[in-house]
Amino acid sequence: MTARLRRYTPFATSGLQSLLQYRSMFAMTAMTAAAGAAVTVFLWRAVYAGTPGRGPGGFTVEDITTYLLVAQILQVLHTNRVDDEVAAEVYRGDVAVMLVRPVSYPVMRFFACLPVVGANAVLVGLPVLGLFTLLVPLTAPRPADLLLFTVSTVLSVLLAFCVNLLTGMTGFLTTNTWGVRMVKQSVVAFFAGQLVPLALMPGPLAALAKALPFRGMIDSPLTLLLGRYDGWAEAAGLVAQQLAWAVGLSLLCAALWRTALGRLEVLGG
């Protein structure tokens, strides 16, 4: 097992090397993330401005600010470029070259995206968090909640990988993967709770969001971070749900990948 996994480490290291050639990219990602966070943070802070103590959904001003800011940072961790790279390789037919190698393409992609996630966390996530700490008051989490959040974040990265891989695989069907990616981005951001916490959605919409896998990408980690759960059972339930979706989506990816390859035609082999 370890020997098989070791095959994939070169993909991770080469991913990191190619990434570090474009260091200015991180400054730009940080800027866009900060801008995105500022829009939602200011919008919701204006809502909570008139209400002292706990406002709508039981959030304080600090809570809602922390929620939206960390949600934006999680979103940066989820932007692993798997969707556009897979789509482009399928679309150009480059994927055929990959198939000759004795590795699984989806697993290879997973390892190649790990350094992207790590670098984004350190070079984008931390500076943006630091910047906002200076500007607006935030809620400090309890140590136990921070631990739960860490576990939940790892699972959310896995979920995001699966969702992005599935999005990239639409390259088998359409040439306008740009449109598909844009729809995915908006829908996921909304139903994950990045723009509006699930606790502030009306009943039916919240029920729908809770039934979808995207909740595990943003809302679940943040519910844990802010300690907005009832006892250990509920916390464990949230993590278990994320885990179940991660396993389910991985299996779906594997199955669809196999089916798609069976139908793949590449010209000019």
Partner 1 sequence: MTRTMTRYLRLAWFLGGVGLHRLATYRMDFVLGAGAFLVRVGIQTAVVGLVFRQVPAVGGWSYHEVLFLLGFSLLPRGLDHLFTDQLWELGRKLVQRGEFYRYLVRPVDPLFSLLSERFFHPDGLGELVVGAVLVGYAGSELGLSLSPVQWLLAPVLVLCGALLHTSVKLLFASLSFWTVTSMPAMYAANQVSEFSAYPLDIYHPSLKALLTWVLPFAFTAYVPCVYLLSGETGLLGWLPVVTAGALALALTVWRRGVNRYEMTGS
Q: Is 50 in the site for partner 1 (CB under 8 A)?
A: yes
Compute the distance between CA of residue 69 and CA of residue 132 in angstroms, rounded to an integer: 8
Q: Is 55 in the site for partner 1 (CB under 8 A)?
A: yes
By CB under 8 A, is residue 123 in contact with partner 1?
no
Find the shortest distance in angstroms from Cβ 25 to partner 1: 6
Alpha-carbon distances, residue 88 vs 35, 129, 175, 178, 228 (angstroms): 28, 32, 9, 10, 41
- Least distance in Å: CB of 1 to partner 1? 39
Give the type of residue at 202. Answer: P
| Residue 176 interacting with partner 1 (CB under 8 A) | yes
User: DSSP labels for 133-195?
Assistant: HHHS--PPPPHHHHHHHHHHHHHHHHHHHHHHHHHHGGGGT-S-HHHHHHHHHHHHHHHHTSS
137 binds partner 1 (CB under 8 A): no
Is residue 223 exposed (0-12), middle (13-18) or buried (19+ Cβ within 10 Å)? buried
Question: Contacts with partner 1 in 178-237 (CB under 8 A)?
Answer: 178-180, 182-183, 186-187, 189-190, 195-196, 200-202
- What is the Cα–Cα distance from 148 to 221, expressed in whole angstroms? 8
135 is a contact residue toward partner 1 (CB under 8 A): yes
- Binder of partner 1 out of 20, 28, 97, 140 (CB under 8 A): 28
CB of 95 or CB of 201, closer to partner 1: 201
Q: Footprint of partner 1 on this chain (CB under 8 A)?
A: 24-25, 28-29, 31-32, 35-36, 38-39, 42-47, 50, 55-56, 135, 174-176, 178-180, 182-183, 186-187, 189-190, 195-196, 200-202
